[in-house]
Amino acid sequence: MFIAITVIAVVCIFSACADKVEKVSAIPETEEKENKSPVLELTSLTEDTAQSVCIDYVIESYENIQKFGYDLFAQCIDDENPVFSPVSAYLALSMAACGADGTTREELYSVLGNDLLSLSDDMMNRFSVSGDILNLSVANSAWIDSAFAVNDTWLGTVKSLMDAGAFQEELSTEQTMNKINDWISDKTNRLIDTMLTEPLAQQTRLALFNTVYFKGKWKLPFEPQNTHSEAFYLQKKQENEKQVEMMNLYSTDLEYLSNDFMEGVLLPYQNNGENCSDALAFIALKPIGENHIREVYHKLTDKVISDILSNKQTEIVNLKLPKFEVTFIKKNY
């Protein structure tokens, strides 16, 4: 039975730039690592000093998040294999927006939407699933340089709405780097144990981190005996191929998705019980005909995805899906 483990760590740094590039696994093939190193003690500013912030809202749509995600996707589409989490980027930037003022505030709100506070709070509640079969957790933290005073209203907002921890440290030290790595390791069940390999830059004043941890089992599992070494074509004309371990589902009733330029399937995950409302799924899409995968990406919008989901049909499908490990390029700041 194939188990999907997804771990994403996203960081927003104000104000340094990076030059060293390394790879960090985003979907490891192994289970959680044993915690072999001692965890440094952390005390969050939000535990004692932050005032609570409550807001009343009704979520009418996730349109602003969807638009933000597809706009972000469009900027990354020329990368060889872009991997990112729009939710993570949205939450990290929302923490910054809560403390911004003037032109910076206007620009952040124009990108994220005026309902960023309600959407952030709703996502933190909606994307929290814990059980024996399905687990999804999202975590946020803010790291502020010790040279700065922290606004209590901002602390209360990020704690109440983003469930964020806030830590004040001398950011450019190795000790702080180790504390950040310990926090990320803890929130990802020790699957990302070394996000930073060098201390943050001397001029860094604020670092915002988001992690996403997901572990689930397919509702329709890929049986090991149906996984074989097969050719996976890297180009639409099948001129360039790579041998991969190909998982197969034969003559299976699946939710089939299609329009005039792409097709795919929706693969649901098991939930945590008959009475649970958890509903998570994996969507795999590929081009139709002469369309290139990059061309498909450029056409993706919230409306396109909404339309193919609304028009999905249950079909008998023979599905081939390559086993793959996702990594992302990480930069030190």
Closest to 40 (Cα-Cα) out of 157, 167, 144: 167
Please indicate, yes or no, whether residues 161 and 238 belong to a single structural domain of this protein: no
pLDDT digits (tens, 9 = 90+) for 101-115: 999 999 999 999 999
Quick check: 302 pLDDT over 90?
no
Quick check: 236 pLDDT over 90?
no
Q: Indicate which CATH number applies to the domain containing 305.
A: 2.30.39.10
Please indicate, yes or no, whether residues 116 and 182 belong to a single structural domain of this protein: yes
Please indicate, yes or no, whether residues 120 and 57 belong to a single structural domain of this protein: yes
Give the model's pLDDT for residue 6. Answer: 47
Q: Which two tokens stand for residue 102?
A: 């003037």
Q: Which two tokens stand for residue 87?
A: 């939710």
Instruction: Collapse the DSSP code of 119 into the 3-class scheme (helix H, G, I; strand E, B; otherwise coil) and give the result.
Output: helix
Please indicate, yes or no, whether residues 255 and 167 belong to a single structural domain of this protein: no
Name the H helices within the chain: 63-76, 86-99, 102-112, 116-126, 152-162, 174-187, 293-299, 302-310
Whether this model's pTM surpasses 0.85: no
The verdict on residue 9 lying in a domain is: yes
Mean pLDDT of 252-266: 96
Q: Which two tokens stand for residue 235?
A: 């180009």
Give the model's pLDDT for residue 13. Answer: 61
Please indicate, yes or no, whether residues 112 and 146 belong to a single structural domain of this protein: yes
Please indicate, yes or no, whether residues 30 and 143 belong to a single structural domain of this protein: yes
Q: Indicate which CATH number applies to the domain containing 185.
A: 3.30.497.10
Q: Please tell me the least confidently modeled range out of 51-60, 162-171, 309-318.
A: 51-60
Residues 6+ apart with CB under 8 A from 209: 9, 10, 11, 12, 92, 140, 141, 142, 143, 180, 183, 184
Given pLDDT bands bounded at 50, 70 and 90, which one contains residue 295? confident
Give the model's pLDDT for residue 60. Answer: 79
CA distance 286 to 277: 29
Give the model's pLDDT for residue 31. Answer: 42
- Average pLDDT value for the chain: 84
The verdict on residue 285 lying in a domain is: yes
Please indicate, yes or no, whether residues 233 and 195 belong to a single structural domain of this protein: no
Q: Which residues pair with 5 in a beta bridge?
A: 215
Please indicate, yes or no, whether residues 31 and 11 belong to a single structural domain of this protein: yes
CA distance 246 to 190: 28
Boundary (domain end) residue, out of 217, 248, 268: 217
Please indicate, yes or no, whether residues 18 and 154 belong to a single structural domain of this protein: yes
Q: Which residues pair with 207 in a beta bridge?
A: 13, 143
Please indicate, yes or no, whether residues 153 and 251 belong to a single structural domain of this protein: no
pLDDT digits (tens, 9 = 90+) for 37-88: 555 667 677 776 556 777 777 777 888 999 899 888 888 888 888 888 999 9
CA distance 210 to 9: 6
Q: Which two tokens stand for residue 244?
A: 């991969």
Please indicate, yes or no, whether residues 79 and 177 belong to a single structural domain of this protein: yes
CA 42 from centroid of its chain's CA atoms:
24
First-residue to last-residue Cα distance in the chain = 39
Boundary (domain end) residue, out of 192, 217, 242: 217
Give the model's pLDDT for residue 327. Answer: 67
CA distance 14 to 2: 39
CA distance 4 to 29: 9
Other CB atoms within a 10 A radius of the CB of residue 313 amount to 9
The C-alpha R_g of the chain, in whole angstroms, comes to: 21
The verdict on residue 332 lying in a domain is: no
Please indicate, yes or no, whether residues 123 and 240 belong to a single structural domain of this protein: no
The verdict on residue 289 lying in a domain is: yes
Q: Which two tokens stand for residue 213?
A: 């941890």
The verdict on residue 329 lying in a domain is: no
Boundary (domain end) residue, out of 177, 194, 217: 217
pLDDT digits (tens, 9 = 90+) for 175-186: 999 999 999 999
pLDDT digits (tens, 9 = 90+) for 188-223: 999 888 899 999 999 999 999 999 999 999 999 999
How many angstroms separate the Cα of 43 from the Cα of each of 58, 141, 181, 187?
34, 12, 15, 15
Number of domains comprising the chain: 2
Decide: 171 and 207 in contact? Cβ < 8 Å.
Answer: yes
Decide: 170 and 192 in contact? Cβ < 8 Å.
Answer: no
The verdict on residue 188 lying in a domain is: yes
Residues 6+ apart with CB under 8 A from 80: none
Q: Which residues pair with 16 in a beta bridge?
A: none
The verdict on residue 330 lying in a domain is: no
Question: Which residue segment(s) compose the domain that 313 sits in?
Answer: 224-323
